[in-house]
A and B are shown apart, each in its own frame.
Chain A
Amino acid sequence: MLQVYDTEITSRLFLGTAGYPSPAVLSDAVRASGTQIITVSLRRETAGGKAGGAFFELIRGLGTKILPNTAGCHTTKEAVLTAKMAREVFKTNWIKLEVIGNQDTLQPDVFALVEAARILSNEGFEVFPYTTDDLVVAERLVEAGCRVLMPWCAPIGSAMGPQNLSALRSMRAHFPDVTLIVDAGIGRPSHATTVMELGFDAVLLNTAVAGAGNPAVMASGFAKAVEAGRLAFEAGMLEPRDMAVPSTPVIGKAVFS
């Protein structure tokens, strides 16, 4: 069981809703993943348009909790206002806080991120900050009121997988009581397993499933990978060693010559 703020969930896979070939494929992928938390955004509605309403009905019908994001925001002010508008629509204090600082890497502007996290936490939001693996920034976010941190493991949509395992290990060690969710950069199930084996509490991904040849099958694969990594972490893994160690007992071996 994973505690996310005051909510307990069993699935450690969070899933984004963007980039699927169709709403039906999105629905199938969400169900196949077993996720209990999906991410969504807010965008301008065209006059007379009902696209937002149709999508709203679709996601409400999936039976998951909704985690709205502030994707595309580049300033504290934009992110705070978007979060407030998201709360108005989705009736949740949860907000996946994104403040983008670099257009090429989509790296977060961690200074604006901390400022926005403090403002939103003080206004009753439960903030899920999309951040880097920088420990000092993470400290500031926790001081600002965040009880969840969501470090990237590689740039959004890059599918590169974990680029700095050492930093992720340090983060886990430094924040044993903070819910840590790897967000962004995961491309394949083995990446998810790797970060879960490090003791991360959950994984949030989108493109790796939405862009797969068969998103529903990939979602199922990721669900198994996340669970495998978590079980391995809980079970305790062997440390690698340089020399071979026979697994079959040598004592009692027959002597034929």
Chain B
Amino acid sequence: MNLNVNGEEHEIACSTLAELMAALDYEGSWLATAVNGELVHAADRDGWRLRDHDRIEILSPMKGG
């Protein structure tokens, strides 16, 4: 499946958002996720099925003004 993760293209075998994050070594309670412009709560990642060409954003805390 071809997925865009944080602006980068990935060809990866996975079916859910949780599987994608594990495959790319994303782990931590501080991460927030969105798929195709919609928030996906942490509790919903296991059941969130991905589709080819989905756009995924994985964000974390950063300094800010």
Contacts and interface: CB of A to CB of B under 8 A. Distances in A.
Interface of A: 16-20, 26, 39-53, 55-56, 59, 68-69, 71, 77, 81-82, 84-86, 88-90, 156-157, 206-207
Interface string B35-65: 0011101100000000000000111111111
Contacts of A20: 63
A69 to B, nearest CB: 5
Chain A interface mostly helix, strand, loop or mixed?
Answer: mixed
Interface of B: 5-7, 24-26, 28, 30-34, 37-39, 41-42, 57-65
B63 A44 contact: no
Contacts of B61: 40-42, 52, 55-56, 59, 89-90
A17 B65 contact: yes
Nearest to A57: B30
Contacts of A40: 61-64
A68 B28 CA distance: 18
Nearest to A53: B28
Contacts of B59: 42-45, 52, 82, 85, 89
Nearest to A88: B32
Nearest to A68: B64
Given A47-B26, A48-B25, A42 B60 contact: yes
Nearest to B43: A88
